[in-house]
A and B are shown apart, each in its own frame.
Chain A
Amino acid sequence: MEKITCNFVVNGQAEEISIPPNRTLLHMLREDLMFHGVREGCSHGECGSCNVILDGKLVNACLILAVEADGMEILTVEGMVDGDNLHPIQQAFVDESGMQCGACTTGMILSTKNLLDANPDPSREEIKDALAGNFCRCTGYAKIFESVEAAAESMKGTQS
């Protein structure tokens, strides 16, 4: 397999990297670029723990080849912090105990961002629908939904 040189902007930083064609975006981000917030759960598009936002769209990085994303912008959960300050969604998950083991949390946070960017005041049903592609093995869904609601509340009026 011949390596292909690709350019990405990951969390605002330009990256140039040569990668084999069969490398998934998940493994490239996690193992080559060390963004460990991108997690490998099922590796088959069921659990959402590998969520990233690719050119503004929420996707499963486990089902995408890194070379497919050449020239694109990628946001991982690491890109959501502002210096030492957590993003309001991250803070809400901490405050509301929206996690147990934490394995699903980074994916949940990106799905929540994807939801709240489009719909700042979602109903409980809309939250469930937006998180349908995210599995929590610890099944702490009630706390997760409360975290999303708290995040929406704390972001009110602060978002453009």
Chain B
Amino acid sequence: MVVFYRRMPRFEYLKPQRFEDVLELLQNSTPNRYRVFAGGTDLMDQLKQRKINVPETVIDLKGITELDFINFDKSSGLRIGALTTVADVAKSPEIEEHYPALAQGAREIASIQIQNRATITGNICNAVSSADSAPPLLALGAEVVCANRNGERTIKIEDFFSGPGQTVLNPNELVKEITLPPPVDNSDSVYLKLAPRGRMDLAWIGVAVWAQISERIFNNVRIGLGAAAPTPIRTPNAEEALCGLDVVSENIEAAAAIASGEASPRENSFRAGSEYRHMMVEVLVKRVLTQLAG
């Protein structure tokens, strides 16, 4: 049963102005000392519901204004700062044009009110399998730039999620930005979400595909699935099966069946059963590929 608690626990509040200062605080911290947040739309809810250990201090990252940016360059690609809101990604003309699946995913997240506060980085750091930004980022080949006091490392998005609600980020690390490769000729991307209502629901299944098609042949394909496994996943077998093949419905159907086999949805989910999710992966992958085939 879901209980809707309304009262906040006790904590202190810090709003540093510099990224390095936050990394310094995290470096010497103990487990329940700090909890960082950007939009806070997930953290405030988790604190009210006592879903997480209450930290002594919450750290508001919004003081670090240099992390709020969308930066696009045709030759180097796209960079999205850790504080960039879902609404800004949803409205960005460059993302709409060159990375449409990501704009579509952003628009699927909860409500306008949430999109105005929540960040794309927060959406992936919470690492919910149904996160709408995750399949597009997987399909578009995103990388996550993480930092601690001693330096930075870059992690492929498919290696970023380690379990439900878990990422490979160390306690002293923060995401600094998300990067996407430069756009490729003859390529396009689409995200489709299956959910009971048009808005406000978590995905039953989310599918994003990026494909490069020339002369009616799949040159290159990446597929990202949400809510189809304990974490968002790629489907490497289906992707590989399609590469080099003609853009015809038999090939699309075969790849969709392979993708369905690569899914491993939770057995006892109250939102949608495992068998149903397997079937819907097949349906949606087929639908997205068909849409990309034009």
- Report A's interface with B, CB cutoff 8 A: 1-2, 4, 21-24, 40, 42-46, 48, 51, 57-60, 62-65, 67-68, 111, 114, 128-130, 132-134
Contacts and interface: CB of A to CB of B under 8 A. Distances in A.
Interface in B34-63: 40-41, 44-45, 48-49, 58, 60, 62
Contacts, number: 92
Q: Secondary structure of the B side of the interface?
A: loop
B48 A45 contact: no
Nearest to B60: A68
B177 to A, nearest CB: 22
Given A42-B4, A57-B87, A111-B113, 10 more contacts: A43-B4, A44-B4, A45-B110, A45-B114, A46-B200, A59-B116, A60-B41, A60-B117, A63-B41, A63-B114
Interface in B85-144: 87, 110-114, 116-117
A114 B112 contact: yes
B13 A21 contact: yes
B271 interface: no
A43 to B, nearest CB: 4
Size class of the contact patch on chain B: 20 to 34
A57 B13 contact: no
Contacts of A42: 4
A63 B111 contact: no
B198 interface: yes
A48 B271 CA distance: 23
B8 A133 contact: no
